[in-house]
Copies of this chain bind each other. A is one copy, B any other.
Amino acid sequence: MVRRTKEDAQKTRELLIEAAERVFYEKGVSRTSLNDIAQAADVTRGAIYWHFKNKHDVFEAIMERLQTPLELLHEAIENSNEPDPLGRLREFLIYLTREMMRDPRRRRVYEIIFMKCEMTEENEPLAARHRQNFLDSSIRIQTVLVNARSHGQLPADIDIGQAIIHLHVQLTGLIYLWLLLPDVFDFETESERVINAYFYSLQHSFSA
């Protein structure tokens, strides 16, 4: 069955990406063949090679669709006269973790990144994106924390660099352990606890 219009073609492209997500999730990236993806999307490899260059290109397309929802954080950054930047940061983190629970697609893609693909040099672009995400969000978090400090929400002598890394450590550890032990680990409960502990230590144990 041949897709005809441009919209139909776009639809099969989407179908292929979703199918690839599922198969990558099930079999891991390197053990899935383009044929696996094609079958899961109910087309042939011809369709894949029409829309994508190769398997790696499909993988990048998956990543492309997954942008972190930083809008909430964005608000708290732009207006530096936001009265409660720290509260906004907390809202954002809660939102992030809830989104992680709620959106199965996001969960799948994160699990692919963390557990079902190999960060070798041939898909260095993925690792680079991963790292860039870390650096970008670090800048934004920094802005929030600086605002919070100037609003008196944080100790004047706080080591903001340390606080940023510490936050990343919390989130990364949370996600990884949850993906490793989904049934030992109640993500919603633990993430809330970890976030609370983080905000507590922000006040007390990050002085420079």
Chain B neighbourhood of A162, CB < 8 A? 190, 193
A11 within 8 A of B: no
Pair A118/B117 contact, Cβ less than 8 Å? yes
Chain B neighbourhood of A101, CB < 8 A? none
Pair A118/B204 contact, Cβ less than 8 Å? no
Chain B neighbourhood of A26, CB < 8 A? 120
Chain B neighbourhood of A180, CB < 8 A? 119, 127, 130-131, 134
Pair A197/B201 contact, Cβ less than 8 Å? yes
A194 within 8 A of B: yes
CA distance A172 to B171 in the complex (A): 10
Interface residues of A in 185-208 (CB under 8 A from B): 185, 190, 193-194, 196-197, 200-201, 204-206
Task: Apart from A31-B122, A162-B190, A169-B169, list 11 A-B contacts with CB within 8 A.
Answer: A30-B30, A30-B31, A31-B118, A134-B177, A134-B180, A165-B177, A166-B193, A197-B206, A200-B204, A201-B201, A204-B204
Interface of A with B (CB < 8 Å)?
26-31, 115-120, 122, 127, 130-131, 134-135, 162, 165-166, 168-174, 176-177, 180-181, 184-185, 190, 193-194, 196-197, 200-201, 204-206
